[in-house]
Structure 1
Amino acid sequence: MDADGLTNEQTEKVLQFQDLTGIEDMNVCRDVLIRHQWDLEVAFQEQLNIREGRPTMFAASTEVRAPAVINDRFLQQIFSANMPGGRTVSRVPSGPIPRSLTGIISYVINIVFQYFYSTISSICSAFVNFGGGNEPRIVTDPLGDVMKFIRDFYERYPEHPVFYQGTYAQALNDAKQELRFLLVYLHKDPSKNPDVDSFCRETLADRSVIDYINTHTLLWGCDVSTPEGYRVMQSITVRNYPLMIMISLRANRMVIVGRFEGDCTPEELLRRLQAVVAANEVWLSQARADRLERNFTQTLRRQQDEAYQQSLRADEEKERQRQIERDAARQLVEAEERARRDVELRKEEISRQKIELATLVPAEPSPDSIDTIAVVFKMPSGMRLERRFRQTDSILDVYRFLFCHPESPDEFEITTNFPKRVLYSKSTLDAGAEGSAHKTLKEVGLKNREVLFVNDLEA
């Protein structure tokens, strides 16, 4: 077996399938498994169905259409009862060939006469059929015709190869799908055809013939007296019974590659079958190789597509992550820009407020003015600032003075040292204690040269 393109697991399945089915050709085992997507159980079950003669899953419907069959005698190996190994009950003279000149001449004339008589009879029969001598038969139950033939054949000849239990169209489709030889047997009433009875009773009952047909072919048979058998007989041009034809896939067409006419010995039939199979196996091998290559190409393409899709998804995920990072960076920049703008706006607002509040700061009284006190402020920077206020000035006036001073922080509170008291705080104002900011310095109990601490609330 050519193991190219097979994994170790697939090779193991081929070996298991061969052990289960007993099929000698590992290429056949491989093709069956490929057709079933390497499902060993399904492939084995189908093989059991084939051995039991049941139609496989590919021909489950009786409405399946049969592929066209090429019936070209130039492409066929033709074997007849008159060839070596053949035998006939009704036409070929029995006994030894005469040794006298007169006897030999009579013997040859008799054979030639029988040959021309058979040929002319076949031509006349075909002409009669073409001219409408036989009424067309409507095929209403092709599967029923086949099953009736199989039952009748089994009752009369218990030993025989396994017949395919399906219509001719189903058998053709299965053989094409499975890349197997299809052996078609057309049966005729053996009570009126001694050659047919001899062929079925002796040749088809031979164990070597049975084993070879079951192993290498799908065998389909039908009686020509039934509509299904008659239709097949009309399509392949029968000249003599018993008749078997071998059909195989050749250059992607189903072709009749072998024709076996008349009775013959089991050994001769086996030799003829082997000759036809050997001559046409190369076409099936090529078809199997083409199918394997197509399957391998499809598998490779599917793997490449999956790898591409995985790579595409990975690239998309990377791009998504990069986009998230870009969005986060952009949002951070925007937040920083907003914070910067807020700071600038706040500074602008504070500058504007300082300008407005500067006009509200009371003028510093002279040192000799009465009811004045000097207040010492300790700024957050450590700077000490002294300023005189009237005792009637409010804490809010003190806040405005400090707020407008260049060394003052933007947010601050004014407290005493000991005992610690908060004289002014924006949080106090926000809490609704705005009235305390309007208390005078005298009301809050500030003394001359008392030190007040300015605490930076943003530090």
Structure 2
Amino acid sequence: MEADGLTNEQTEKVLQFQDLTGIEDMNVCRDVLIRHQWDLEVAFQEQLNIREGRPTMFAASTDVRAPAVLNDRFLQQVFSANMPGGRTVSRVPSGPVPRSFTGIIGYVINFVFQYFYSTLTSIVSAFVNLGGGNEARLVTDPLGDVMKFIREYYERYPEHPVFYQGTYAQALNDAKQELRFLIVYLHKDPAKNPDVESFCRNTLSARSVIDYINTHTLLWGCDVATPEGYRVMQSITVRSYPTMVMISLRANRMMIVGRFEGDCTPEELLRRLQSVTNANEVWLSQARADRLERNFTQTLRRQQDEAYEQSLLADEEKERQRQRERDAVRQAEEAVEQARRDVELRKEEIARQKIELATLVPSEPAADAVGAIAVVFKLPSGTRLERRFNQTDSVLDVYHYLFCHPDSPDEFEITTNFPKRVLFSKANLDAAGETGTAKETLTKTLQAVGLKNREVLFVNDLEA
């Protein structure tokens, strides 16, 4: 099975289906499962429907249209009651086949004449039927006609094969879909037709015939006295009763491949059925192989499409991921650039502020000026600055001086050495416009904050 391209799960389903149905050909089991999308339960139920004569899911509607059936006697195996194994009841015996050359010529001429006469009468009958007179044969309930025939047949003949419980069109569609042989049996009143009675009572009731028909074919039947039976009788050209025809798919067309006319023994009917099925099984096998190849091709194409779709989705996801990575890199670069611009803007702003605040720095008093004190500043770089201020100068004036000095950090606080006190902090400056306490602290004079002459103040870098 692995050589057929089946997975282990599909192979297991084929084996299970074979065990459940008893179908010996594993290729048939595989084909049935493929048609049902490998649904084991649905496939098994369909086989039960077929065995019980019920239409399958493919022909469930009674409005289904029947496929055209080719009826060409030159393409059919024709069997009659006059052939070996045939029999007649209350029939005038036919004359022996002549043995002389003249008699043989006459026999052949007579046979050809009868054949063409029969064909001509069938054509004339068909045109007459088309012309009218068939109002009483209008088919209004084909399924009802079939079911009525089956009920009456089962009551009259307890031993019987399984008849398909659907219309002729349904039977044709199921046979075509399931790639099975379809036997069409047209029934006529057995009370008036002894051959029909003998055929149904003795031949179709034989166990060997029943088993073969139920196993290898679909059997559809109807009484020609009903509109459905009469319509089918016209389409397959019945000349005598009992008559059965075997229909099969051949070269992608449904056609009659076998015709069984007249009564015969069960053994002879079985031989004839086997002869027709054996001669035409190759066509069904080819159809199964073609269908399997189409299904395989469709499955392969679907798998390829799914693989392509998955590959496409994967490529799209990869592209989205690459785009996200590019966006992340771009955002990071933009953030770095923005930070750089912010730093530059801040430096520019600080430079501008230093220029503006330089005008606010009070002039340095003389060393001997009254109220002048010298203050020593120790910068973070270790540089020592010394500058004189008036005791009346404010803490903010000291800040302006340090802020505008080129060696001073941009953000800083001013503290005393011991005990440590914060004379000025950036927080005080930022809050000066919001709270009165902060503003009051910055406007205090150096004398008010207790700053003495030669006192050392530390400038602490807040950005370090």
Q: Above 0.5 in TM-score?
A: yes
CA gap 1:445/1:190 in 2 versus in 1, 3 angstroms? same
Residue in structure 2 matched with residue 135 of structure 1 by the alignment:
134
Residue in structure 2 matched with residue 447 of structure 1 by the alignment:
452
Question: Residues 6-405 of structure 1: matches in 2 within 5 Å?
Answer: 6-91=6-91, 93=93, 120=117, 123-124=120-121, 127-128=124-125, 130-132=127-129, 135-136=134-135, 137-405=137-405
Partner-residue secondary structure (3-state), 1:131: helix
Q: Which has the higher mean CA deviation after the structures are superposed, 194-203 or 21-30?
A: 21-30
Q: Which amino acid aligns with 1:358?
A: A
Q: Which amino acid aligns with 2:462?
A: L
What is the Cα deviation at residue 98 of structure 1? Answer: 11
What is the Cα deviation at residue 369 of structure 1? Answer: 2.3
Does the aligned pair in 1 maintain the 2:97–2:107 contact within 8 Å?
no
Q: Which has the higher mean CA deviation after the structures are superposed, 31-40 or 216-225?
A: 31-40
In 2: Cα distance, 1:245 partner to 1:382 partner:
120
Q: Which amino acid aligns with 1:27?
A: N
Q: Which has the higher mean CA deviation after the structures are superposed, 215-224 or 28-37?
A: 28-37
Does the aligned pair in 1 maintain the 2:374–2:453 contact within 8 Å?
yes
Residue in structure 2 matched with residue 437 of structure 1 by the alignment:
442
- Overall identity of the aligned pairs, in %: 81
In 1: Cα distance, 2:217 partner to 2:252 partner:
18
CA gap 1:376/1:98 in 2 versus in 1, 3 angstroms? closer
What is the Cα deviation at residue 87 of structure 1? Answer: 1.5
What is the Cα deviation at residue 189 of structure 1? Answer: 1.1
CA gap 1:3/1:166 in 2 versus in 1, 3 angstroms? farther
- What runs of 5+ residues in structure 1 fail to find an aligned partner? none
Q: Which amino acid aligns with 1:418?
A: F
CA gap 1:272/1:398 in 2 versus in 1, 3 angstroms? same
In 2: Cα distance, 1:39 partner to 1:308 partner:
26
In 2: Cα distance, 1:306 partner to 1:110 partner:
68
CA gap 1:3/1:329 in 2 versus in 1, 3 angstroms? closer
In 2: Cα distance, 1:219 partner to 1:289 partner:
24
Q: Which amino acid aligns with 2:453?
A: N
What is the Cα deviation at residue 107 of structure 1? Answer: 13
* Count of residues in correspondence between the two structures: 455
In 2: Cα distance, 1:114 partner to 1:91 partner:
19
Does the aligned pair in 2 maintain the 1:157–1:201 contact within 8 Å?
yes
Does the aligned pair in 1 maintain the 2:122–2:237 contact within 8 Å?
no
Q: Which has the higher mean CA deviation after the structures are superposed, 121-130 or 55-64?
A: 121-130
What is the Cα deviation at residue 115 of structure 1? Answer: 9.5
What is the Cα deviation at residue 90 of structure 1? Answer: 4.0
Q: Which has the higher mean CA deviation after the structures are superposed, 294-303 or 162-171?
A: 294-303
Does the aligned pair in 2 maintain the 1:377–1:451 contact within 8 Å?
yes
CA gap 1:125/1:71 in 2 versus in 1, 3 angstroms? closer
What is the Cα deviation at residue 397 of structure 1? Answer: 1.4
What is the Cα deviation at residue 400 of structure 1? Answer: 0.9
Partner-residue secondary structure (3-state), 2:448: helix
In 1: Cα distance, 2:273 partner to 2:30 partner:
24
In 2: Cα distance, 1:61 partner to 1:344 partner:
84
In 2: Cα distance, 1:337 partner to 1:176 partner:
75
In 2: Cα distance, 1:276 partner to 1:3 partner:
32
What is the Cα deviation at residue 24 of structure 1? Answer: 2.4
Partner-residue secondary structure (3-state), 1:428: helix
Alignment root-mean-square deviation, CA: 2.7
Q: Deviations over 1:339-374 (max 9, x none)?
A: 111110110011011111112212222223232111
Structure 1: which 4+ aligned runs deviate by more than 6 Å? 105-119
TM-score of the aligned structures, taking structure 2 as reference length: 0.92
- What runs of 5+ residues in structure 2 fail to find an aligned partner? none
Partner-residue secondary structure (3-state), 1:37: coil
In 2: Cα distance, 1:319 partner to 1:122 partner:
74
Partner-residue secondary structure (3-state), 1:442: coil
Q: Which amino acid aligns with 1:322?
A: R
What is the Cα deviation at residue 119 of structure 1? Answer: 7.3
Does the aligned pair in 2 maintain the 1:186–1:229 contact within 8 Å?
yes
Is 1:406 the equivalent of 2:403? no
Q: Which amino acid aligns with 1:406?
A: P
